[in-house]
Structure 1
Amino acid sequence: MRKKNKWLMFGMSAALSGSILTGCMGPSPSEQAYEALENVVSKESPFKKEQQPLLELEQKENKIYNQIIALGMKDFEKIKTLSGDALKLVADRKDRIETEQKSIAESEKAFKDAEEALGKIEDGKAEKEADELKKLMHDRYNSYNELAKSYKSAIALDEELYKMFQNKELKLEDLEAHISKINASYKEVMELNKKFNEYTEQYNTAKKAFYKAADIKVDQ
């Protein structure tokens, strides 16, 4: 059995940055927006916490994959055991991506409050920065939804792969065709992850610009 490559998953995704207010909170629209925007950050805490565990699961699974490929079906019972272990890791990844999605959904819900506050801002540059902030965040949410959908499709292909390894009559051409699908799937995941990270970085930068334009004093 020839060794094939399998994409290591997308790993770390960029998370929103938070700030600590150093001045006094007040009732102005800008300060209301500040509170709402920082609440959005807090809603993504579970998303942020899932990044390192997901990366570690991906690395463990890739290690098992390489062990299976190295055996080349010479020790089928060992391959069955290893593929069973890999399926458990896949199941864990599925659970964690669900937690991640719920966190982003809560963030998106909380952002509606931020939009309402941002819509009340009427002074020049701050209003312009607020509009840019809203656009970038919507682009970010849309990007994440594409990414999550693609990643879950890739996980499904991984699950199918390890079930294939449990078939003693597995044909090399079938395995190679499936791994090609996986490689193409993870290539798409990596491209979408890059796009999501870029939107996140742009949003974090735009939020700082808004705070500066609105004269909100924060530690950054």
Structure 2
Amino acid sequence: MPFSPTKKLLFLLGVAIFLLSGCFGKETPESRLYEVMEKAVKAEKQFEAQQDPLIELESKEKAIFDKIMGLGLKEYSQISTLSDEALDIVDKRKEHIELERQSLEQSREQFEKASVIMKEIKKPELKEKAELLYQTMKERYKVHETLYEEYMNVLEGDRKLYTSLKAKDVSLENLEDQVNTLNDFYTSILEANEKFNELTEKYNKEKLNFYELAGLMGKDS
């Protein structure tokens, strides 16, 4: 089919527009970093979803523990039944904390892409803020790893305690030692959790500062 001058002109115009759109549509490092950070946030949705169920389970388990402590060791049958209920809760808590960890790991994998993108940022002030963001988030992930390990220690300690309570020959001294160890673990968890929350707040503030300086406020993720 003959290619008319008009069609040829339209074709060339279309090619030019296509090429220009490729140039102007190319994302800046700042914009790409924004998308990486927002995807990392989305990856933590499952992490957020575990918080309320964990708090509820911890509350139920504490109520059971308090009830056991009020019975006395002679009430073996009731203590054994309640201990089984508590052990079931321990297993459920482990399921939620594992989901929480998986979510943070997915977020970490996504955020690691930022390390390459940051090197492409030219403006010194933006680069400095981006590096600060990256280091804060890395520390946050590291603290959560500590939090996870301490929580797993607690779960193992809880499991050991409730199993011991089911034994008829367990001594009060043995139980006291286990409870003291658990209290130490819980103290470590509270400290790690507080640090994690502080870093989360710090990161969110630094992120908004970076977005504002880079002109990314209001950008759709």
Q: TM-score range by the shorter chain?
A: 0.7 to 0.9
2:41 alignment partner AA: V
Matches within 5 A, 1:191-210: 191-210=191-210
Partner in structure 2 of residue 127 of structure 1:
127
> Is residue 2:182 matched to residue 1:182?
yes
Secondary structure of the structure 2 residue equivalent to 1:71: coil
Secondary structure of the structure 1 residue equivalent to 2:70: helix
Partner in structure 2 of residue 59 of structure 1:
59
> Is residue 2:47 matched to residue 1:47?
yes
Aligned-pair CA distance for 1:119: 2.6
Does the CA-based 8 Å contact 1:29-1:118 persist in structure 2?
yes
Partner in structure 2 of residue 31 of structure 1:
31
Aligned-pair CA distance for 1:117: 2.3
TM norm structure 1: 0.85
Percent identical pairs in the alignment equals: 35
> Is residue 2:107 matched to residue 1:107?
yes
C-alpha distance after superposition, 1:94-146 (max 9, x if no partner): 11111111111111100022332233211132111101001101111111111
1:140 alignment partner AA: R
Q: Distance in 2 between matches of 1:218 and 1:72?
A: 61
Partner in structure 1 of residue 70 of structure 2:
70
Runs of 4+ in structure 1 displaced over 6 angstroms? none
Give the structure with higher Rg (CA): 2
Partner in structure 1 of residue 4 of structure 2:
none
Moved more, 29-38 or 83-92: 29-38
Aligned-pair CA distance for 1:74: 3.2
Q: Distance in 2 between matches of 1:83 and 1:37?
A: 44
Q: Distance in 2 between matches of 1:50 and 1:41?
A: 15
2:116 alignment partner AA: E
Secondary structure of the structure 2 residue equivalent to 1:169: coil
1:210 alignment partner AA: F
Q: Distance in 1 between matches of 2:94 and 2:26?
A: 43
Moved more, 25-34 or 84-93: 25-34
- Long gaps (5+) in structure 2: 1-24
Partner in structure 1 of residue 166 of structure 2:
166
Q: Distance in 2 between matches of 1:71 and 1:122?
A: 68
Partner in structure 2 of residue 149 of structure 1:
149
Moved more, 106-115 or 60-69: 106-115
Q: Distance in 2 between matches of 1:28 and 1:195?
A: 33
Does the CA-based 8 Å contact 1:144-1:196 persist in structure 2?
yes
Secondary structure of the structure 1 residue equivalent to 2:200: helix
C-alpha distance after superposition, 1:46-100 (max 9, x if no partner): 1110011001100000000000000012321111110000000000011111111
Aligned-pair CA distance for 1:26: 6.3
Partner in structure 2 of residue 17 of structure 1:
none
2:108 alignment partner AA: E
TM norm structure 2: 0.85
Which structure has more relative contact order (CA 8 Å, sep 6+)? It is 1
Q: Which has the higher helix share?
A: 2
Partner in structure 2 of residue 94 of structure 1:
94
